[in-house]
């Protein structure tokens, strides 16, 4: 291996991220879903400058997202995964990571490493949750990104973990309910409750489950299984324990708290998990954790780690019972 060449390739990763993000925002893959197009047709359909688009398409073709044949462009399998309607589409996440607040925060990574503080709050003067509440466009982009990432994880969780033993499953911080819907489709005898902030669950379809708005720092609806997918990693230990204590109080006898999270010590994709941990550092002040760190966190909330169940995604189902 040419170490210098490989290092330069890694250093240029930010250019790749932004180019793919722009393609997602321009919906290039969606436009090409109907079939190959000439550059002029693609520029007209995407509302872009023809010559500038040619340069973007050259770069993305070199990355393998598109093919160029006789002046016409088409999706590859990789490019098709950037379509908004693709199974397990990456489009929402790709659009989000190019947004100003997210992109700028990574430029302040050094400040977080030097101080241990959250770069987003340093840069923008307020926590990320408050910032997004005041910027609905960024909140919408974040929600779309979470939905984009949810499908693959949700299907993996439903396939790996047996929810049939629970009468009522509460999806705590469940957004629009993609995971909960997957559980209920797989286990039709289970009842479901979707719990998140009132403005978030307002966009959920409630045909299959009950919708409850609220704040998990105040209280959580009662259930036999309380599922928190990618919630606890957003928060530092004190806030995480507060959330988990409320879950402990809401847990019915014999029930379980189920955390769907990555584990630093068991991750099948250590690069992804390590960078997710950096993302938590600079964005929310949270962190990815090891199995033992989750065991300690749960114990502080009156819960005992019972099992960790691997899934076909980088996440695990961390099962906890009341102590």
- Each residue of 113-123: pLDDT tens digit? 999 999 999 99
| Whether residue 195 sits in one domain with residue 316 | yes
pLDDT digits (tens, 9 = 90+) for 230-259: 999 999 999 999 999 999 999 999 999 999
Residue 157 within a domain: yes
Where does the pLDDT of residue 185 fall: very low under 50, low under 70, confident under 90, or very high at 90 and above?
very high
Compute the average pLDDT of residues 266-274: 96
Catalytic machinery residues: 233
Compute the average pLDDT of residues 132-139: 89
Domain limits for position 193: 149-322
Write down which residue in 67, 86, 105 finishes a domain: 86
CATH number at residue 205: 3.40.50.150
Q: Mapped to the 3 state alphabet, what secondary structure does 124-171 carry? A: HCCCHHHHHHHCHHHHHHHHHHHHHHHHHHHHHHHHHCCCCCCCEEEE
- Give residue 104's pLDDT: 93
CB of 30 within 8 A of CB of 11? no
Least confident of 50-64, 135-149, 159-173, 178-192: 135-149
Question: DSSP string covering 251-289, please?
Answer: EEEEEEEEEEE-BTTT-SSHHHHHHHHHHHHHHTS---B
- Name the phi and psi angles at 263, rounded to 5: -125, 125
CB of 179 within 8 A of CB of 150? yes
| Whether residue 82 sits in one domain with residue 153 | no
- Give residue 35's pLDDT: 96
pLDDT digits (tens, 9 = 90+) for 41-86: 999 999 999 999 999 999 999 999 999 998 899 999 999 999 999 9
Count structural domains, the chain.
Answer: 2
- Give residue 200's pLDDT: 83
| Whether residue 196 sits in one domain with residue 74 | no
Residue 111 within a domain: no
CATH number at residue 80: 1.10.10.10
- Give residue 70's pLDDT: 87
Write down which residue in 51, 68, 86 finishes a domain: 86
| Whether residue 316 sits in one domain with residue 172 | yes
| Whether residue 154 sits in one domain with residue 79 | no
Residue 129 within a domain: no
Residue 117 within a domain: no
- DSSP code at position 243: H
- Give residue 319's pLDDT: 98
| Whether residue 169 sits in one domain with residue 44 | no
Write down which residue in 71, 86, 101 finishes a domain: 86
pTM of the model: 0.91
Compute the average pLDDT of residues 179-191: 95
Average pLDDT, the chain: 94
d(CA 188, CA 293): 34
Q: Pick the more confident residue, 113 or 87.
A: 113
| Whether residue 52 sits in one domain with residue 190 | no
- Give residue 191's pLDDT: 96
| Whether residue 312 sits in one domain with residue 240 | yes
| Whether residue 296 sits in one domain with residue 153 | yes
Express as a percent the part of the chain with pLDDT over 90.
Answer: 86
Dihedral of the alpha carbons of 270, 149, 127, 198, in degrees to the nearest 10 = -140
Express as a percent the part of the chain with pLDDT over 70.
Answer: 99
Q: Pick the more confident residue, 39 or 147.
A: 39
- Residue 264 pLDDT more than 80? yes
Where does the pLDDT of residue 164 fall: very low under 50, low under 70, confident under 90, or very high at 90 and above?
very high
| Whether residue 164 sits in one domain with residue 302 | yes
Where does the pLDDT of residue 95 fall: very low under 50, low under 70, confident under 90, or very high at 90 and above?
very high
| Whether residue 301 sits in one domain with residue 208 | yes
- Residue 142 pLDDT more than 80? yes
Residue 116 within a domain: no
Residue 80 within a domain: yes
- Give residue 306's pLDDT: 98
Nearest partner of 129 among 173, 246, 120, 227, judged by Cα? 120
């Amino acid at each position: 291996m040419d170490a210098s060449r490989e290092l330069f390739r890694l250093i240029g990763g930010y250019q790749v991220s932004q180019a793919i993000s722009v393609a997602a925002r321009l919906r290039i893959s969606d436009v090409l879903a109907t079939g190959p197009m000439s550059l002029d047709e693609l520029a007209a359909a995407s509302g872009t400058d023809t010559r500038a688009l040619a340069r973007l398409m050259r770069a993305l073709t070199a990355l393998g997202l598109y093919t160029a044949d006789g002046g016409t462009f088409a999706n590859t399998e990789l490019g098709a995964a950037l379509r908004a309607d693709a199974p397990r589409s990456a489009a929402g996440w790709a659009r989000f990571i190019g947004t100003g607040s997210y992109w700028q925060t990574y430029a302040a990574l050094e400040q977080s490493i030097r101080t241990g503080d959250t770069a987003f709050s340093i840069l923008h003067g307020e926590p990320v949750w408050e910032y997004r509440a005041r910027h609905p466009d960024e909140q919408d982009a974040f929600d779309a990104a979470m939905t984009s990432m949810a499908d693959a994880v949700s299907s993996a969780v439903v396939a790996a973990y047996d929810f049939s033993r629970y009468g009522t499953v509460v999806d705590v911080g469940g957004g629009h309910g993609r995971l909960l819907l997957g559980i209920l489709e797989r286990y039709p005898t289970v009842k479901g409750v979707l719990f998140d902030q009132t403005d978030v669950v307002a966009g959920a379809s409630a045909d299959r489950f009950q919708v409850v708005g609220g704040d998990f720092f105040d209280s959580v609806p009662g259930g036999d299984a309380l599922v928190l997918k990618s919630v606890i990693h957003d928060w530092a230990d004190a806030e995480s324990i507060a959330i988990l204590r409320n879950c402990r109080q809401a847990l019915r006898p014999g029930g379980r708290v189920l955390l769907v999270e990555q584990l630093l010590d068991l991750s099948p994709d250590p690069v992804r998990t390590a960078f997710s941990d950096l993302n938590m550092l600079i964005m929310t002040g949270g962190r990815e954790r090891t199995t033992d760190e989750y065991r300690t966190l749960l114990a502080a909330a009156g819960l005992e780690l019972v099992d960790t169940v691997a899934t076909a995604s980088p996440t695990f189902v961390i099962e906890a019972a009341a102590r």
